[in-house]
Every structure is written in structure tokens, then in C-alpha cells.
Structure 1
Amino acid sequence: MSYVSQTNISVELQYQEFLERVITFTLCTIPSCVFLFINGTMLFTLRSKSVFRDTCRYILLFNLLIADTAQLAVCQVLFLLSVCRITLTYPVCGMLTVFANITNVISPLTLMVMSLERCVAVCLPLRHAMIVTIRNTRLAIIAVWTSSSLHNIFRGILLLDFPFEDLDSLQMTSLCSDLAMQLGSRSKVYDNAFTGILFASAAMAIISSYVGVIIAARSASTGKASALKARNTLMLHLVQLCLSLSSTIYNPLLVALIKIVQTVVFIRLHKFLYILMIIFPRCLSSLIYGLRDQTIRPILLGHLDCQLKHKAVAVSG
């Protein structure tokens, strides 16, 4: 009777664990798919009209959305692998985390460039067309992607110091994450230092642009409406930078929580924090810009409406 009782308890616990994984999978996958759909529609909108393709700030917005969408997709893959308790090899996990890091660095750098562009538009309106050209915008985007790639190359060089040859197998014993790939103290120190410098530089550029716009708004030669709109945009960029920072502190926050809370509580907090700090920030850019910009809004809503109607007809058919 004791053996049967223990067996029943074990089966019930396995069922509860399976049910919790299914619920987690559903609750986290559905918002991700919805936000990926919205981001994809926004990207299509920005490529559908020549006014978007030939305007520098929309080109920068397109680059920001590409990074956020790719980051959301990779993070969702890593999260689902952790929910399903699937371990990877070090090379495969390294490739996924490198791609996630590239896109994670691109967001704050792009926000920095977008803030400087708005500052030039208000403070130097007569020279804006000469400074902010499509060619210079593309060069800035290339510089952003190059900086992010060099950062990950250096992270890879630091990983070479880890004695992989002493391992019995390249199969990881822990779940794949960026934290699990920080092998060695030098890698952790470099990551922390780079993240701090990156966000401090981006915050300084945005705040400096904001101050410059306020000063320019007080002069009689600057349009008050244009300056006010630019100031609100820069505040929005600062909020976006804080949201980008939330994904950076996500892993350290989990490390701190696992030391002070019980395992069951940590698992539930993990899911909540993932939705709050990873999923939501990666979709807010498209929602905020798409609904706020008077040029984008009608086209975006039209594309969303058409796609939803097309899917409804396909399902009913």
C-alpha cells in the first residue's frame, strides 16, 4: 500500500509539472506570437511606401524594429528550450546567445543615433538636410552593427580561455542562457563593464539631446511645435532605453532571486519577469511609434486590419 501511494503521488506530481509546463508554454508563446505579428506588420509598413524608405528617421526606426524583433524571437526560443528542459551543446548555445547579444546591443546604439538626429533637426534646422542624409544614416547603421559584432567577437575571444578540452563532452549540463555562457571571471567583468559603458553613453547622448532641444525651444528662431514634438520624442527614447536595460538586468535579477526565494516561487517569478522584461519591451517600439506617428498610424492599422480579415477568412474557409 505504501508503494502504491508513493507511485500515485509521483504520477500526480509529474502530471502537475507537465500541466504547468503546458500553461507556461501557452501563456508565453501566445503574447510572443502576437507581438511578432505586430512587429512584422510594422516592418512591412515601413517598407511599403517610398516616404518611409527615403526618410532617415524611418530608416533608423526600421533598424530598431529589426533588432527588437530578432531579439524577441531568439529569447522566445531560449525560453521554450528552458521550459522543455532541453540542454544544448556549447557551440549551439554560443551561436544563439551571440545572435541575441548582437541585437541587444543594437537597440541602445540605434536609440542614441535617433536622438542625435532629432537634436540636429531642432537645433540645426538649416543644416539638417546636409548632415542627416540617407548615405550618412546608412553609414551610422553599419557602424552600429559593426560595433555590436566587434563586441561579440571580443566575447568569443575571452571564451577561448575556458578549458573546453578538459570537459568530457561539449553537451551543457545547465540550460542555455547568456549567463551560462559567461565562462570565466574575465568574461563576466567585461560584460558588466561593456553594458555599463553602453547604457551610460546612450543615456548621456539622449539627455544631452533633450537639453539641447529645450535650449533651442527658447529661441525665437525655432518652431515651438517642432521643438515640443522633438522633446517628447527624446523622452520616449529615454523610456525605450530603460526598457532595453530591463532585458540586460534580467539574468542578474534571476541570479539574485534564486538565492532568496524558494524554487517554486522562483519558477513562477521567472515566467512573470520574462513576459514583463523581455516580451513587452520588444513590442512597445512598434506600438508606440505606430500609433503615435500620424504618417504611420493609418497605414499600419490598415495593414493589421487586412491581415486579420485575411486570416479570419482562411480559418472560416
Structure 2
Amino acid sequence: MTEQRERAADTSQWASGNQIERDLTLTDADFTRIRELIYQRAGIVLAEHKREMVYSRLAKRLRHHGMTRFTDYLVRLERQPEAKEWEAFTNALTTNLTAFFREGHHFPLLAEHIKNAQEPVTIWCSAASTGEEPYSLAMTLLETLGPKASQAKVIATDIDTDALARARAGVYPQEQVRKLDDARVKRFFQKGTGQHAGFARIRPEVSALVEFLPLNLLAPQWSIKGPFDAVFCRNIMIYFDKDTQAKILKRFAPLMKPDGLLFAGHSENFSYITDAFKLRGQTIYTLAKK
């Protein structure tokens, strides 16, 4: 989750002097409650300046239900704690910016770490988004392990079920895939034709290595089990406060192999949050020795 889906206010909004007029009513109390609910549900901390983003994204849900006031939407939501709408609410307020082999220095280091593994390699991608990161991990497994990669596994989780559906489909615009070198494109993608022209699909031998699962990092229990050779938790901790970050990192530790690696995003620093991990290199951590 990052900043790609943060766009300007919904097209139904327009500027009038210094005011922004809207067809739906979002009060200060509504915005405060939305911030509280998404924090409780997903641990996401929404800053004050995210108000226009919140309006733009949730306005679609109100219109879907024929509502004009955010107050009514929130009351309905809170009266039905198990309603399917909570999933739509959470999906709307999560953000997905990702790319194949993003922060590319991590992948050669992962390859070096796993190349002599004596048992099947298992990697957890804890913020899978629309699939580019876990598929990049699967490609790295194939390039590094050769035939042994068929025994390896990437567990890819995310709270955003819409993003996971797109990830499972494994279909991406050609312009996104063209950023990769030709050898990888030919080896790991199928070029779309006819009505699928302009798109590329992940090849079955790549998708076979990845299992996509919905998972909320704030849930009291996780549906996954280690031990993992590596955990990728990149560019998601920035949405949590430090207490939440510390709790999640503490839960990562027992799921990792003794020499396992934890990969963070370029703007994330876990050194001052927990003593469970120690910095090994550029945004890469290992378990701290007890």
C-alpha cells in the first residue's frame, strides 16, 4: 500500500472560490470517525491532509448505496460489524503502488541468500498488492534455483481483496511489463493477442509458485505459518504508528528461520522500533541474537 491510488478529488467536486463544493456531505465528525474506523480495522493512520482522498474514494460507496451523507453510511456500517461493506470500506482506503522488481537491489541479495538452500524455500510477501512483488519473487526463485524452484513457495497476502483478485489474474498492461529486460519478458510472460492485445499474462510456471491469501496484519491470528527464509514487508509500515509497527515486527520474528531475512521499504527504518531484528544492510534485517 502506497500513494498511487491517491488522486485528486472526485470529478463530481469543483472549486468555488476557496471552497470545494460536493454533492455529498462529509462533516468534520465524519472524517474523524473514518480515521478511527480504518485505524481500528487495519491499523492505517490517515493524516489530516487525506480528507480529499477519503471523500473521493468513499463517495463511490455512498453513491452505490444511494446515500448523500457520510454520517448515514457510517451509522449503517457500524450497525453491521460483520457486513461485506466493511471489506469495500477497507479496500477503498488502502493504496497500491507497486512494480516488478521495485527496489531492485533486494532481489540479487535474496538470490544470494537462497541459492544454496538445503530445504524448500518459502518466502512471505506481506503486502502483495496487485501481485507485481510476489511475482518478482517467484521469478527470482526460478532464476536462482532452476528445477528446484518447483518445490519453493511464495505466500502473498494483503488486506485489499480487490487488489488480490487482480494479482491472481496475473494480467498487466504491456507498458508496465516493458520496463523489464527482454529476457525476463520472454521467459515469464505471455503476450496478449486479439481482445487481449496490449496486455501480458504471467506464465503458469511463475503463478504456480505463488499462493495469494487475504490477511490483515492487525488480526489476532494469522492464517499463515513459517518458518520463512525471507519476509518482504516493504512500504506498508509507513501507514502504521510505531506501536503497531512494533507489534507486527514482534510477530514476524517467530515465523522466520534462524538466518531468515526481513526486507523493508526504502523509507522504513525498524532499528529504533524493535530489538527483535538488527540491520544487516540497506533496508535488510536479520533476527537479533538472544
Name the TM-score, length of structure 1 as normaliser: 0.23
Higher strand share: 2
- Greater CA radius of gyration, 1 or 2? 1
